[in-house]
């Protein structure tokens, strides 16, 4: 680990169900990260006050490299700041109708301020392409895991979120054939712990060697 400070890993739990499959997987991943010496924090999205985007485009018209300010007064700034400041993040959401659920989509829409798009421009451009850490992406589905990976879109959406936050995705975890009344298996939880430990190691490595290509987790 970086001798200058403790690596920080922040998990975003994007499920409606507290203590459900996604929640338990995030907890397991953070447990794995703590086992590698990282400090951890969990954000339960359901407990945050996040309003719908009003599409005013005020945030996209603010000049500068930093995320544009949103005039809506809620918990958005606090949530995004915690994710931005982390060395590693866990982004976790279930699949609903082929993509992440509405709870996470709502947050993604509010992240449009990472783009600069003044009224005089024909299209948006990303304010910053700087990488500040690594990301682990987790999803669950009632469908088999192979179908979720090949036919659904959750990882495309979660990768987009990670990139906006300045984090490079380095691993994924799919939990398939999940019933709403059943939590993850011990095998799935152990995989989450392993992924969390690897995320902590990769994030710590990035702190001291940001240009070295130690990018991905083990299979």
Domain 8-52+78-101+130-208 has CATH 3.40.50.360: yes
Size of the chain, expressed as the number of residues it contains: 219
pTM of the model: 0.91
Domain extents in the chain: 8-52+78-101+130-208
CB 88 within 8 A of CB 167: yes
Q: Tokens at residue 106, please? A: 């709502």
Query: Distance (Å, rounded) from C-alpha 16 to C-alpha 14?
Result: 7
Q: What is the average pLDDT across 62-80?
A: 96
CB 92 within 8 A of CB 22: yes
Q: Does 58 have pLDDT greater than 70?
A: yes
Q: What is the pLDDT of residue 219?
A: 44
Query: Distance (Å, rounded) from C-alpha 41 to C-alpha 83?
Result: 10
Q: What is the average pLDDT across 99-107?
A: 98
Q: Whole-angstrom distance between the N-terminal and C-terminal Cα of the chain?
A: 22
Q: Where are the beta strands (DSSP E) in 121-166?
A: 125-126, 133-140
Q: What is the pLDDT of residue 215?
A: 54
Q: What is the pLDDT of residue 216?
A: 56
């Amino acid at each position: 680990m970086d001798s200058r400070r403790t690596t920080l890993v922040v998990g975003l739990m994007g499920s409606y169900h507290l203590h459900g499959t996604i929640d338990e997987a995030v907890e397991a991943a953070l447990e794995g990260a703590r086992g590698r010496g990282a400090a951890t924090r969990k954000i339960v999205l359901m407990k945050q006050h996040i309003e719908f985007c009003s599409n005013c485009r005020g945030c996209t018209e603010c000049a500068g490299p930093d995320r544009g300010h949103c005039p809506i007064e809620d918990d958005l700034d606090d949530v995004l700041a915690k994710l931005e400041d982390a060395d590693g993040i866990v982004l976790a959401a279930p699949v609903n109708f082929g993509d992440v659920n509405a709870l996470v989509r709502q947050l993604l829409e509010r992240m449009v301020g990472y783009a600069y798009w003044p009224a005089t421009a024909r299209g948006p451009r990303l304010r910053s392409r700087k990488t500040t850490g690594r990301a682990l992406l987790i999803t669950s589905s009632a469908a088999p895991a192979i179908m979720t990976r090949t036919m659904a879109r959750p990882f495309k959406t979660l990768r987009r979120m990670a990139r906006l936050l300045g984090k490079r995705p380095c691993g994924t975890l799919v939990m398939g054939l999940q019933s709403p009344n059943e939590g993850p298996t011990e095998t799935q939880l152990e995989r989450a712990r392993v992924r969390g430990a690897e995320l902590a190691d990769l994030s710590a490595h990035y702190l001291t060697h940001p240009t070295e290509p130690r990018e991905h987790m083990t299979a």
